Amino acid sequence: MTITWLGHSCYMLEANGFRVLLDPYKGVQGLPDIETEADAVYCSHGHFDHAWTENVRLTTGKDNPFTVKEIPTFHDDQGGTQRGTNTVRTFTAGGVTVAHLGDLGHQLSAAQLADIGHCDAILIPVGGFYTIDAAAAKSVADAIGASVVIPMHYRRGPVGFDVLGTVEDFTRLYPQEQVKEYPTNTLTLTKDTPPQVAVLTLPE
């Protein structure tokens, strides 16, 4: 499975030529609004920076190799009373599973962790303010136990909302040898991908 980061919390997952777009955005500081095409699109919740589907062109006619599972969660740690609900989704294809945690705002319960199940990689918000912060994200990542952890929804340089923490706030919680900085925005996930915190880089 190929994982391509398009900025903020937006990713393209691809397997067998089928492309799944996750959380397309508009209005994110330092980034142009998403404009792309995909075979399917999923949004974790309805906020503008996670559900901008107007410029997404959907293609048809391909067999979908992904098995998708949805786990209801909240956008805050007050049962959704502050920011509403959030959907965690797992995507399985080619023998590997990726979980996109959306704008998760709380620690996961034992039941939610059981519903998520085994994951080879997780896409996890780490910037705080609107979501879990770096320390809470580390706790969630440890609880899920995926070997590959890919941070998202953070600030780095001129990109990202000013109120968010930086990706370094998260990566410094791990041994430095475990953190891998990629020169590109793409990672190919297999069963043999070594354990790591993968920091992807957007193209100039």
pLDDT in tens, the chain (204 residues): 999 999 999 999 999 999 999 999 999 998 999 999 999 999 999 889 898 999 999 998 889 999 999 999 989 888 888 888 999 999 999 999 999 999 999 999 999 999 999 999 999 999 999 899 999 999 999 999 999 999 999 999 899 899 999 999 999 999 999 999 999 999 999 999 999 999 999 987
Rounded Cα distance between 165 and 160, Å, is: 9
Residues, the chain: 204
**51: CB partners within 8 A, 6+ apart:** 23, 24, 43, 45
Rounded Cα distance between 174 and 147, Å, is: 13
- The whole-model pTM stands at 0.96
What is the CA 131 to chain-centroid distance, rounded? Answer: 12
3 state DSSP class of 142? helix
